[in-house]
Amino acid sequence: MGIPYTGSPVRGSAVAMDKIATKRALAGLGLHLPADAVWQPGEPFPEHLAPDCVVKIPEGGSTIGTWVCHNSAELEAALVRAEAMADRVLLEQFVAGEEITVAVLDGQPLPVVAIRPESGFFDYEAKYTKGRTDYLVPAPIPEAVARTAQAHARIAYQALGLAGVARADFIIDEDGVPWFLEINTSPGMTATSLSPMAAGAVGMSFEDLVEHLARTARLHVRV
């Protein structure tokens, strides 16, 4: 339509929206990616992941279509629910630890935000119910871990050809390893969302961030 827009090009956004495509695109680039398998209804379950794993529909958002399973009963219930929502299901190695997120603005990573839901799982309710989750920025984690997460977020951003603001999510395990989960090309952009929170930590107000994004809208056209 010839209209400039904010954020990432269509191709990068499409890949990032698909968790399976994202992981395949980032394989071999030095990021720590949880082991995974793709399951389709009717297929046998990959034994090397059962039953302690995370079940995800590939194109879900806001933790909708994501279930953490620790036993066979939970796994079976999750697969029944997942196959009603998608024709492919991502089964991922469960990584215990602290969730963090790294916003990347115009290719530059912002300070790390630590996410601490009171329930222990950052699900839909924890994300959108006021007071159910604490957010700490800069995250109280070792500087080396923060730098690694920021570097990996930037690698994902560049490898997928993203633009504007995007936000990568990680889990830090007990050894301080940040495991990449996904990158969101349309992160929340309210005054209390995580990307504006990270921008605020470097002195960029919410209003300035929104104006910057609007002013850098562009046409992403491939000739």
Domain ranges of the chain: 10-33+95-215, 36-93
The pTM assigned to this predicted structure is 0.90
Q: CATH assignment of 36-93?
A: 3.30.1490.20
Nearest to 91 by CA among 68, 118, 115: 68
Residue 223 binned pLDDT confidence (cut-offs 50, 70, 90) = very low
Contact 173, 96 (CB under 8 A): yes
Distance CA 67, CA 191 (A): 29
Contact 220, 9 (CB under 8 A): yes
H-assigned helices in the chain: 10-17, 19-26, 72-83, 124-128, 143-159, 194-200, 206-215
Distance CA 86, CA 4 (A): 32
Give pLDDT tens digits for 181-219: 999 999 988 877 999 999 999 999 999 999 999 999 987
Distance CA 203, CA 192 (A): 15
Give pLDDT tens digits for 20-42: 999 999 999 999 999 999 999 88
Distance CA 60, CA 63 (A): 7
Which CATH code, of 3.20.20.70, 3.30.470.20, 3.40.190.10, 3.40.50.10420, is assigned to 10-33+95-215?
3.30.470.20
Nearest to 135 by CA among 159, 113, 152, 120: 113
The DSSP symbol for 130 reads: T
